Each structure stands twice: as C-alpha cells, then as structure tokens.
Amino acid sequence: MNRRHFLQTAGAGSLALASGLTSCAPRYRNIAGHPMHRVPKLKLSLDRIVKETVGLRPFRASGPRIAKEALGNKTIVHNYGHGGSGWSLSWGTGNLARELVMTTGEKKVAVLGSGTVGLATARLLQEKGCEVTIYTKDLPPNVTSNLATGTWSPASRVCDPKVATPEFQAVWEAATRFSFRRFQFMLGLDDIAAWVDEYNVFPAKPINPSNPALGGEVYHLDGLVPKSQEINRRDHSFGADFVTWRSNMMFNIPSYLHHQMSTFIMLGGKLQVHEIKRLEDIDALPERCVVNCMGLGAKEIFNDAELTPVSGQLACLIPQSEVTYKLITKGANIIARKDGIYLGGNGLVGNWDTTPKREYTQEWVDIIQQVMQEMRS
Ligand SMILES: Cc1cc2nc3c(=O)[nH]c(=O)nc-3n(C[C@H](O)[C@H](O)[C@H](O)COP(=O)(O)OP(=O)(O)OC[C@H]3O[C@@H](n4cnc5c(N)ncnc54)[C@H](O)[C@@H]3O)c2cc1C
C-alpha cells in the first residue's frame, strides 16, 4: 500500500469512526477489519493473588462534610467523609476547603491526615503560599486511601441521594469539575493518572444502572468523561449480549501517593506522625487554622454519628503488562493497574471488620473466569 492509499484508507476509517459515534451500532474496526475491542485475557487463579485487603470507605448519607467551625480560638475546616469517591473528589473538595481557609487570613495551617484528601488539600494550600504542617496518625501505605480501586468515580457511594440536599449536589458538581481539570494536568506524569478502556459486560441490560455494585454512581455530569456506548457483538470478543465501552481515568495509587508526599515535602511542607486522641490535642497545635482530613478517624474526635464505614475488599493479582483495562460485570469487577490487577466488588455498610474473606475472592475469581472463558479468541 502506498502512502496516499494508506492516508485515504485511514481517512475513511476516521469517518466511519466519527459516524459510528452518532449511530446506535458503531463499528470500531482496525485497518485489517478486525474488531477494535479485542481484550487480552486475564491469567486468573487463586495462586496468582498476592494480596487481599479490606478498606473502609468513610460514608456520610448527606455527603462529605466541607464546613468551617470555631473551636476555642481555632478555626476548624472540615474535609472528610468522601465514601467511595475520595480519590476522585480530593482536589475538588480540597479546593473548597482551601477557600474556607483563605477566609481566615491565616498562612500557617495544620492539616490532619495524610490520605489522598489531606495530601491534595495540603498541596493546594501550598499553592496559595501557606506554610503547611500535616499531623497524621499513620502514613501511606497505612491509610484507607491506599486500599482503594483507583478510578475516576466522583459519585460512587458519595451520599444517599434521598438524604443529600440539592445544595450538596451543587457542591459536588463544583468539586467534580475542579478535580477533573486538575487530573488532566497529571496525565503523563509517571503514569500516576491515565485514561483506560472501561467495559461493562452483562448478559442483559442492567435494570438499575446506578447500583454501586454494578459500578453505578448516584450523580452524573455530562461533558467530562466520554459517554458509555453499547458495542455490537461482532465488534468485541466477549461472549455476553450487553457490552458497553467508554474511556475512564485510572489512578496508580502507590505512585500517586508517593508523588503527592514528595511534592509536598519538596515545596517545604512539614509532616509529623501525631495522633489526635481528643479535641484538646487539636487545641494544643501551634497553628490557628486546622483542616480536618481524618476520613473515618473524624468520627470519634468530632462525634459525627452520620459517618459510617462501607467496607470494600480487594484481591490483587500479579500484573500483566498487556492487560490495561477495567471490566465491570454482575457481582465482580477488575481494574488493571501498574502494581497489580485488582478484583473486587463489594460494599458492606456499617462493617468495621478489615479481615479479608477468602470466599469473596474465590467468588470474584469464578465470575471473572467465566467471562474470560466465554471470550472468543
Ligand atoms: C475498596 C475501596 C475502593 C475504592 N475505590 C475508589 C475509587 O475507585 N475511586 C475513588 O475516588 N475512591 C475510591 N475509594 C474511596 C477512597 O479510597 C476514600 O474516599 C478515600 O481514601 C478517603 O480519603 P481520606 O484521605 O479522607 O481518608 P484516609 O485515606 O483514611 O486518610 C485519613 C488520614 O487521617 C489520619 N487519621 C485518622 N485518624 C486520625 C487521628 N485520630 N489523628 C491523626 N490522624 C488521623 C490517617 O492516619 C490518615 O492519614 C475506595 C475505597 C475503598 C475502601
């Protein structure tokens, strides 16, 4: 094929792709005519599981608490309770917390907690010239944030929409937009944030697509992540009748946390391992403005009856370099990160037990195994 012919073929291909976006049965084929969605199979067996963890999502039915209150002669700015959305919303709620800090005029600020929310908030405060000290009970990797799946999911278990107010939805929207923009500036930086293919693979169209167990979310915002598209059976290699695809963002959690910590230190931030056991410990800190990013740890200190754990187990398979996608199916999902391929899918409300249960892992291995076996090679 000469160069001109190649360009013409490629041009026709792009036109087909563009028209496919508006038709209900898009045809994504590569230049050789093969279906575009040929997904590499996972090597799945229990002996490839190298780690099982249970993390506790800090859930509040009314949504994360972003608020300012006076405590003696200190100002406390709260930024906690992000449920299953803390990674995604960290920059956005960090920005809202920063705005509340700025109203105090204080430049020396304490941040409690070094999870994804505390680190993002601390970094944003530094960008406004604040001298920030993080006080934290534990450092990464011993934080809940290190036990997350790591995808863009800004409305996953973020609130109970029957309880949350329309005002909260507006706050969520502002936070989501800010976070989304911020993540676009992290793309290409040591693979800490990346766009990947996300597939939903079901025997039939799910009746309740907002069910979190099926990867569903409570709110939606158009214009950020591309919309999911149903793909025709002949254009993918799955055995299922209902398959959708979209691009979504993924976070490589260990390198992301490392990046955040090192940048914070590089910009002059200070970090102290220091547990807050009671309100008096906050009062004893030298800073007059304190941002509370303690996640579930805020429950006892601030007597927040609404804050509840929603536990989530993950099982980590040895990574496969060719597997880079996310897949959601009935009862299980997988996400391929650089450090491993994570299987999961549960959320137990009110469960404080962080002991992994082998039976969940076994169930997910069986479910995903079946999806792999039904795939055409
Ligand atoms: C299985 C699972 C999957 C998830 N998947 C995703 C996902 O794909 N995308 C997404 O956006 N979110 C996801 N999440 C949610 C996300 O992980 C959380 O919302 C987020 O980690 C909360 O961050 P945080 O910084 O508030 O809390 P944490 O990470 O818990 O950090 C809290 C910090 O406060 C410190 N602290 C606590 N108590 C005290 C104290 N008394 N004194 C001093 N310091 C204290 C801790 O040591 C820690 O440093 C998932 C969560 C789980 C469990």
From the CB of 275, is ligand 1 less than 6 Å away?
yes
- Report the chain's mean pLDDT, rounded to a whole number: 90
Q: Is the CB of 63 under 6 A from ligand 1?
A: no
- Assign 89 to helix, strand or coil: helix
Pairing of strands 340-344, 242-251: unpaired
The whole-angstrom separation of Cα 336 and Cα 107 is 41
- Nearest Cα neighbor of 356 from 314, 317, 310 is 314
Sign of the dihedral defined by the CA atoms of residues 154, 123, 131, 105, in that order: negative
260 touches ligand 1 (CB under 6 Å): no
pLDDT score at 209? 65
| Rounded Cα distance, 185 and 168, in Å | 26
Q: Looking at residues 72-82, what average pLDDT do you find?
A: 97
Strand partners, 313: 54
Contacts of 185 (CB under 8 A, 6+ apart): none
> What token pair was written down for 301?
């200190």
Q: Would you call 85 exposed, middle or buried from its count of C-beta atoms within 10 A (0-12, 13-18, 19+)?
A: buried
pLDDT band at 66 (very low <50, low <70, confident <90, very high): very high
Cis omega (within 30 of 0) for bond into 141:
yes
Label residue 11 by pLDDT band (50, 70, 90): very low
The DSSP-derived string for 3-28 is HHHHHHHHHHHHHHHHHHHHSSS---
What 8-state DSSP symbol labels residue 13? H
Alpha helix segments (H runs only) across 23-110: 86-102
**Angle (nearest 5°) at CA 107 between 192 and 176:** 40
Token pair belonging to 213:
């167990």
Mind listing the domains of the chain with CATH numbers?
39-56+191-252+310-373 (3.30.9.10), 59-185+253-307 (3.40.50.720)
Q: Give the chain's count of helices (H) and strands (E).
A: 8, 15
First to last CA, the chain: 28
Structure confidence by residue, pLDDT tens digits, 149-199: 999 999 999 999 999 999 999 999 999 999 999 999 999 988 899 999 999
Neighbours of 272 (CB within 10 A): 10
Q: What are phi and psi of 108, to 5 degrees?
A: -100, 115
Pocket test for ligand 1, best of 123, 133, 135, 137 (most atoms within 8 A of CB): 137
- CA angle, residues 80, 85, 89, in degrees to nearest 5: 70
Q: Of 144, 179, 360, which is best to mutate to test ligand 1, by the most ligand atoms within 8 angstroms of its C-beta?
A: 144
- Rg of the chain over CA atoms, in angstroms? 22
The residue whose two tokens read 């990046």 is 259
> Is residue 6 predicted with pLDDT exceeding 90?
no
Q: For 108-132, what is the HEC assignment?
A: EEEEECCCHHHHHHHHHHHHCCCEE
112 CA to middle of ligand 1, Å? 12
> Residue 29: pLDDT band by 50, 70, 90 thresholds?
low
User: How does pLDDT run across 346-371, given as a tens digit for each residue?
Assistant: 999 999 999 999 999 999 999 999 99
Mean pLDDT calculated for residue range 311-317: 98
Q: Whose CA is nearest to atom 30 of ligand 1?
A: 144
In order of 81, 196, 234, the CA distances from 225 in angstroms are 24, 11, 25
Mutate to test the pocket of ligand 1, among 59, 76, 117, 183 (most ligand atoms within 8 A of CB): 117
